[in-house]
Amino acid sequence: MAKGDRAAFEELYRRTSPWMAVRLRRRCVDEQIVAEVMQETYLAVWRAAGAFAGTAVGGTATGWLWTIAARRLVDAFRRRAHHAEPPPAAAPPDVAPAAEELALAGTVDGDVGDALRCLAPELRQVLQAMVLDGLSVRETAVLLGLPEGTVKTRARRARIEMRRALA
């Protein structure tokens, strides 16, 4: 793909697009946003294929692909929140929820969702990446720009707090 091989790109798309669509739909129920994110993701992959460092930095193509897609999804939620008009009678909230919170609200409900939303943001990010998105410790570390040891520590703390909240 880095050399402009369209067949290689088509093969990557054929192998990863069903998986990508399922993962995006777990975080967003709006099919239009999912379709836009898919298109933006694969366009970004096509354009930046030469920049993929791959296994040289301990990453995988699917991890790289998901990192791009997750960031595009957050961007889409931010755009939607920015362009949405509140109902005329509604008072603006004190603090608008982050795009990640909107994605999380559409994914996890009930006691588990409440406990997850009560976690500190840095713990929730790690748990969300590893559990909801299915990323490895290494992929989570690359996605969040953290050392692997920090990711492991935060994941452990998040799980302990979740157990405590759900007990």
Q: What is the Cα–Cα distance from 115 to 83, expressed in whole angstroms? A: 29
Q: Which are the contacts of 122, defined by CB distance < 8 A and separation ≥ 6?
A: 154
Q: What is the Cα–Cα distance from 137 to 141, expressed in whole angstroms? A: 6
CA atoms within 13 A on the CB side of 113: 12
Q: 91 falls in which pLDDT band (50, 70, 90)?
A: very low
What are the tens digits of pLDDT across the range 143-161? Answer: 788 899 999 999 999 889 8
Torsion sign over Cα 46, 145, 62, 35? negative
Count of beta carbons in the 10 Å neighbourhood of residue 97? 14
Residue 66 has pLDDT above 50, yes or no: yes
3-state secondary structure of 106: coil
Residue 162 has pLDDT above 90, yes or no: no
